[in-house]
Amino acid sequence: MIKVEDLYVEFGPTKVLNGVSFEIEQGDVLAIIGPSGTGKSTLLRGMNFLIPPKSGTVTVGDVTVHAENAGKKEIRALREQMSMVYQNYNLFKNMTALENVMEPLITVHKINRREAEKTALEFLDKVGMTDRKDFYPSKLSGGQQQRVGIARALAVNPKVILFDEPTSALDPEMVGDILELMKKLAESGMTMIVVTHEMGFAREVATRMIFMEDGVIREEGTPEEFFEHPKDKRLKEFMAKII
């Protein structure tokens, strides 16, 4: 189970998240949609404390962290339950594809190098990147870099993967490949939280959806409810523009 309770994030006087709460179960795929600048990416970063929340609680599995008294030990325990796929890949430029996948296994999960390499190769194979394992990011296309990022996220055996607009930096012809890979992950039972503008993916793959605006959740429901029977006025306007 993943549970976020009353999460607040502020940048100076600006409230970016204003009391966000939601809950999903294992195997769910949650799509988070909404206009740009409404706190969607900040929500993901707040969940794993890349951006420290001012207050609120995040629970993943049997680990619960309260923002008000979160120390390094608690945050580390929470991060070990989840992984993240970034919009701009976030690969180490001085490491090969294989080394990028191995890195969190060695440094965070303290797995020995031989076992880390074996695991990394397994997950590079799952995303179709075995033949590029010795390539540096500069020699990989955007889609290939994102596949490495997904392999890295999978290799640590997380309870949930957070996807922050994983296709927005890709050339249009590469988007379909990454969405198909994500669809296969969902079908395998992976719990996923996806900030996305890809409405076709959200409609087909998501089990739950959230619409955010101005740092709050304005509507939550199933894809069918969002696409066929939206209730919130702003959600209706948003859907009318993008469908």
- The arithmetic mean of pLDDT across residues 197-212, rounded, is 96
CA 211 to chain centre: 16
Residue 224 has pLDDT above 80, yes or no: yes
| Helix, strand or coil, per DSSP, at residue 84 | strand
CB distance 84 to 154 below 8 Å: no
Q: Which residues of 229-240 are buried (b: 16+ CB within 10 A; e: fewer)?
A: ebebeebeebbe
| Rounded-to-integer distance, Cα 81 and Cα 104, Å | 13
The per-residue pLDDT for 235 is 95
- The arithmetic mean of pLDDT across residues 30-40, rounded, is 95
Instruction: Give the global pTM.
Output: 0.95
Residue 129 has pLDDT above 90, yes or no: yes
For residue 151, give both structure tokens.
């392999």
| Helix, strand or coil, per DSSP, at residue 190 | coil
- The arithmetic mean of pLDDT across residues 71-92, rounded, is 94
The per-residue pLDDT for 173 is 84
pLDDT, one tens digit per residue, over 84-123 is: 999 999 999 999 999 999 999 999 889 999 999 999 999 9
Average pLDDT of the chain is 95
| Rounded-to-integer distance, Cα 217 and Cα 77, Å | 27
Cα separations in angstroms, 136 against 95, 99, 123, 144, 202: 6, 9, 17, 11, 32
| Rounded-to-integer distance, Cα 171 and Cα 190, Å | 26
Rounded to the nearest 5°, which phi and psi values hold at 4? Answer: -115, 130
pLDDT grade for 241, boundaries at 50, 70 and 90? confident
Q: Which residue has the higher pLDDT, 42 or 169?
A: 42
The per-residue pLDDT for 135 is 98
Q: How far apart are the first and last CA of the chain?
A: 31
Residue 243 has pLDDT above 80, yes or no: no
pLDDT grade for 242, boundaries at 50, 70 and 90? confident
For residue 51, give both structure tokens.
């951006």
Cα separations in angstroms, 3 against 24, 25, 31, 75, 193: 7, 9, 15, 15, 12
| Rounded-to-integer distance, Cα 22 and Cα 20, Å | 7
Q: Which helix (H) or strand (E) holds 183?
A: helix 172-187
Cα separations in angstroms, 90 against 150, 205, 233: 11, 25, 36
The per-residue pLDDT for 84 is 96
